[in-house]
Amino acid sequence: MADNRNKITKYRRPVNLNIGMIIFATIFFYVVICAITYLRTEHIVGYNVQEGSLTSNSIYKGIALRKEEIVPCTNAGYVNYFAREGERVAVGNLIYTIDETGRLSDYINAGESGENSLSDEDLSELKSEITAFISRFDRTQFTDVYNFKYSVEGTVLKLANYNILENVSALNDASNTALINYCYANKSGIVTYSVDGYEDLKLEDMTVELFDQKEYDKKHLVNNELLASGDPAYKLSTDEDWSIVIHVEEKNKELVDQLVEEEYIEVKFLKNQYTSWGQVEPFTNEAGDLFVELSFTNSMVTFCTDRFIDIELLLEEEKGLKIPNSSIVEKEFFIVPKEYVTKGGNSGNSGVLLETYDEEGNASTQFVETTIYDETETEYYLDDSVLHAGSYIIKPESTEKHAVSKTGSLIGVYNINKGYADFKQVSILYQNEEYAIVKSNTAYGLNVYDHIVLDASMVNDNDFIYE
């Protein structure tokens, strides 16, 4: 007989299920399913309506038109400028000298003109110029760096003027001939040292191509440059009256009509944030392109070196309830005469007497509660979810019937104050690319602090909202 005393068999404990484990497993699986469902569900995001405003502003890059006169060089030689760019000169003021031999240039380069330092006023002007350039610098317009360079050179140029002028006579006396010629202003005006071919441009000459800065060529008149007789020496802006011309796209034609109606419009110059009022004059060229000229009687000297100027048109500021454009939706409604709408039911709410038929074809009337979404003097906009095209409604205390057929659309948002999507009509005062300003406290519209759906395309009428 086999000896089984040393044979060991592992004891398997039976699974002991109890009600607690079953409940725990059920709850665990329910939580997992809810979590997965929540993560896979597209959630509705709400937006809290607040009071706000939008300024119907438009930013444009304009072309500056001035009365400009290019003054030619009288003699051949090296030019040295003594009037600072952007400075007003009178008749007889020294603008530049012409050095026929280059001796003055050698004199300046040798450092014999003496030591110069910045005054507090000059230093403040230079700092302001640098700060303004940094604030408006655009990497896509790198040519502005060169314009800034020449502008700074013009600012610093005046530091050496007086010492040089004291020694010009000595150089002429040493040669016993007038090798250095003095050139004076024959007219008063603002002096600038650049030419670009736009000097004689007028509103009637405007084309879209002129606004392409990639094709724009501005020639700077540089100090100590060799000029031939008749070459441009400098430019004078002779009148404080000037203008800016902007190009308006066809889709914004209504803006032109608005500007013309107002005649004068407030303009903000983005370069320095100053504002001025410009007189409006529209123009359409042969190609059908729209332009608007804004004429000013001041500030010309501030922008005398700029051909392209960024401006902002300051139009009317609209105030009301500020909502995102994504919340706005258009919805169809039935339109019925006001005399067919009455109050009834247990709640005393508005509704209509709808004509109904039983299985035997007998007609009867039934009060159907409907929501009013908007009204005119004679009609109501009613919800189309309870009425159907072709149905008849009965005039209260009468036998007159009206066939439901007329429809109309309203612009509105979905209010979710009560936990479901409830359409509310809105009246838009002004709208830009992101937001709209709508009237507040209207009979069927929104109020401040109402909660609306941020993206109206995600919900339907009377959907329950789970944020």
- Quote the percentage of the chain above a pLDDT of 90: 30
Residue 420's pLDDT band (boundaries 50, 70, 90)? Answer: confident
pLDDT at 389: 86
Rounded Cα–Cα distance for residues 432 and 325 (Å): 8
Residue 172's pLDDT band (boundaries 50, 70, 90)? Answer: low
Q: Rounded to a whole number, what is the distance in angstroms from the first to the last CA of the chain?
A: 78
Mean pLDDT of the 113-132 span: 63
What is the number of other CB atoms lying within 10 angstroms of the CB of residue 340? 20
Rounded Cα–Cα distance for residues 371 and 385 (Å): 10
Q: pTM for the complete prediction?
A: 0.56
Residues in the chain: 467
Please check whether residue 401 is in contact with residue 355, taking contact to mean a CB–CB distance below 8 angstroms: yes
Burial string for 452-463 (b: 16+ CB within 10 Å, else e) reads bbbebebbeeee
Residue listed under structure tokens 């012409």? 98
User: Dihedral, CA atoms, 225, 230, 232, 238, nearest 10 degrees?
Assistant: 140
> What is the distance of C-alpha 223 from the center of its chain?
40
Q: CB-based burial of residue 4 (10 Å sphere; 0-12 exposed, 13-18 middle, 19+ buried)?
A: exposed
Residue 150's pLDDT band (boundaries 50, 70, 90)? Answer: low
Mean pLDDT of the 362-369 span: 84
pLDDT at 145: 72
Q: Is 440 a residue whose pLDDT tops 70?
A: yes
pLDDT at 107: 61
Rounded Cα–Cα distance for residues 180 and 85 (Å): 21
More confident residue, 108 or 397: 397
Rounded Cα–Cα distance for residues 51 and 39 (Å): 34
pLDDT at 109: 59
Rounded Cα–Cα distance for residues 171 and 180 (Å): 8
pLDDT at 195: 94
Closest to 99 (Cα-Cα) out of 218, 182, 23: 182
Of 15-29, 156-170, 301-315, give the lowest mean pLDDT range: 156-170
Token pair in block for residue 191:
């002096």
pLDDT at 136: 67
pLDDT at 336: 92
- Laid out side by side, the sheet with 94-99 consists of 180-184, 94-99, 77-81, 226-227
Token pair in block for residue 401:
């019937």
Beta carbons within 8 Å of 356's beta carbon, 6+ residues apart: 363, 364, 365, 366
pLDDT at 412: 92
Task: Output 423-431 pairs: Cβ under 8 A, ≥24 positions apart.
Answer: 423/329, 423/331, 423/373, 423/461, 424/373, 424/450, 424/452, 425/373, 425/374, 425/381, 426/321, 426/323, 426/328, 428/328, 429/318, 429/320, 430/54, 430/56, 430/318, 431/54, 431/325
Token pair in block for residue 308:
């392209």
pLDDT at 176: 45
Of 133-137, 188-192, 284-288, 322-326, give the lowest mean pLDDT range: 133-137
Residue listed under structure tokens 């009060």? 367
Closest to 115 (Cα-Cα) out of 168, 163, 154, 166: 163
More confident residue, 246 or 140: 246
pLDDT at 110: 58
pLDDT at 111: 52
Backbone angles phi, psi at 4, to 5 degrees: -100, 15
Residue 197's pLDDT band (boundaries 50, 70, 90)? Answer: very high
pLDDT at 22: 79
pLDDT at 271: 84
> What tens digit of pLDDT does each residue of 2-61 get?
555 566 666 566 656 677 777 888 888 888 887 777 666 666 788 898 888 776 668 899
Rounded Cα–Cα distance for residues 300 and 237 (Å): 9
Mean pLDDT of the chain: 82
Q: Is 149 a residue whose pLDDT tops 80?
A: no
Of 85-94, 162-171, 268-277, 343-352, give the lowest mean pLDDT range: 162-171
The Cα diameter of the chain in Å comes to 149
Closest to 75 (Cα-Cα) out of 101, 111, 45: 101
